[in-house]
Structures are given as C-alpha cells and as structure tokens.
Copies of this chain bind each other. A is one copy, B any other.
Amino acid sequence: MNTAVSRNEAEPRKESVSCPMDFILRMLMGPWTTYILYNLKTHGPQRFGELKRRVSGISAKMLTERLRTLEGAGLLRRDYEATIPPKVTYSLTKRGHELDDVLGRLAEVGMRWEAEDAAQRALRAMELKAAE
C-alpha cells in the first residue's frame, strides 16, 4: 500500500494492530500493479515489450520495478532466455492465480458500486429535468 503507497513494502510498520491483509494489499496497491496482473491473467504469459505496450503509459523503469516486486512476492515467474536479442517472459505463478478469485470479487463490488453511482446520477439528472 502501500501506499501506498508509498511506504517500503518490507517494513512492517511497527505492528500496531497486526492486520493480516496489510501485506497483501501493500503488494497489490503499488501503482500499475493491478493492470499488470489483469493483463497477465487475461492475455496469458507475455514478454516485457508486449506487456509494456498493453499497459500503455507505464515507463520501462516502473514496469521493471513492479515486475521485480511481484516476482519477489512469488506472484509471477520470470523466464529468461539468453538469446540475442534476449527473450524474457512473465507469467502468473500458482500464487498469482490464487488472487484471481479475490480480485474477481473485488472487481464485482467495484462494478456494482459504479453501476449504482451511475444510476444515482441518472436519477438526479431526471429529477433536475422534471423540476424545470
């Protein structure tokens, strides 16, 4: 989280309340992280350049750093072939796939809220029109 994010993900923050989901959220929270996981999940294993093109706007530095972090957390695997030019393929590990379910539910909740908000906005717009 990290937090955003913006804290060192290894530092356990002195353990005030001991929230078990903190680590995992701190992992997911990193910028771009969900985009990367989402892409790997839906498009399968991909090479660095492919991923960079899909997650448009990300810098190579960021992508590298995120991939290293996710690899370190065991969420994805990095296969390096020392050909010329080199070929590096990233794919989700078993652990990475274990997040599919949770992330799916999270997405579900997010989409429901989005839909509810849209409905609310539409309702309010209609009320405004009716009031004219």
Contact = CB atoms under 8 A, between A and B. Distances in A.
Interface of A: 1-7, 13-14, 16-17, 19-26, 28-31, 33-35, 38-39, 54-57, 95, 98-99, 101-103, 105-107, 109-111, 113-114
Secondary structure of the A contact surface, majority rule:
helix
A20 to B, nearest CB: 5
Residue among A1, A16, A33, A98 with the most chain B CB within 10 A?
Answer: A1
Contacts of A103: 21
Nearest to A58: B16
A89 to B, nearest CB: 19
A13 B57 CA distance: 9
B57 A23 contact: no
Contacts of A54: 16-17
Contacts of A19: 34-35, 38, 107
A115 to B, nearest CB: 10
A31 B17 contact: no
A2 B103 CA distance: 16
Residue among A33, A111, A114 with the most chain B CB within 10 A?
Answer: A33
A28 B27 CA distance: 12
Contact of A24 (B3, B13, B23, B109): B109
